[in-house]
Amino acid sequence: MRTEHPHPFQHCPSCGAGDLQWNSSNRFTCPSCGFVFFHNTAAACGAILLYQDRVLLLERANEPAKGMLDFPGGFVDPGESAEQALIREIREEIRLEAQELRYLCSAPNRYHYRGVTYNTCDLVFTGTLTEEPGSLQETEIAGFVLLSRDQVRQQLDRIAFPSLRQAMELFLRGPVSDSTESGSR
């Protein structure tokens, strides 16, 4: 197991000086040249998607959390809204268009990737599918499962990240009838 660096780099990206001062977990200033950098919280999105009242979860093909269950979703690209990012990620990962996407909640996460820790704010939505996935983005996803709410409850520890577990717990406490109905209430 590789040790995580507390900060993503040790030398100033502007002048190369090696005596960086991290003022907090996400900000440094270079005493040599005055360069300031914010390693800001990144926005990420994910969806709890229902197909015939079962929850779609994806099996991660890569680290971090390889083999664990994840929501369709990913990082919000520059210039995108969370909704646009989510629609794009769902298309990329499961080749489908989700319906009735609605904001559920957000939760903080720490995403470790190749020695860098990214603080994220995960924006979680709910939605529905009219068919189950026929093909997957195999570079990122090893497979999928469709689980009943009870099955999800029993397997919460298979969900990859605390932020997503938290969102799923909130979803599981919510009304059941909301998932398959469409139109006005």
Binding interface with Zn ion (CB under 5 A):
12, 14-15, 17, 30, 32-33, 35
Cβ closer to Zn ion: 32 or 137?
A: 32
Residue 172: name the closest of 97, 83, 104, 73 by CA: 104
Smallest distance, Å, CB 16 to Zn ion?
Answer: 7
| Cα–Cα distance, 132 to 120 (Å, whole number) | 29
Smallest distance, Å, CB 15 to Zn ion?
Answer: 3
Cβ closer to Zn ion: 37 or 125?
A: 37
Cβ closer to Zn ion: 31 or 67?
A: 31
Smallest distance, Å, CB 129 to Zn ion?
Answer: 50
Cβ closer to Zn ion: 15 or 142?
A: 15
Smallest distance, Å, CB 33 to Zn ion?
Answer: 3
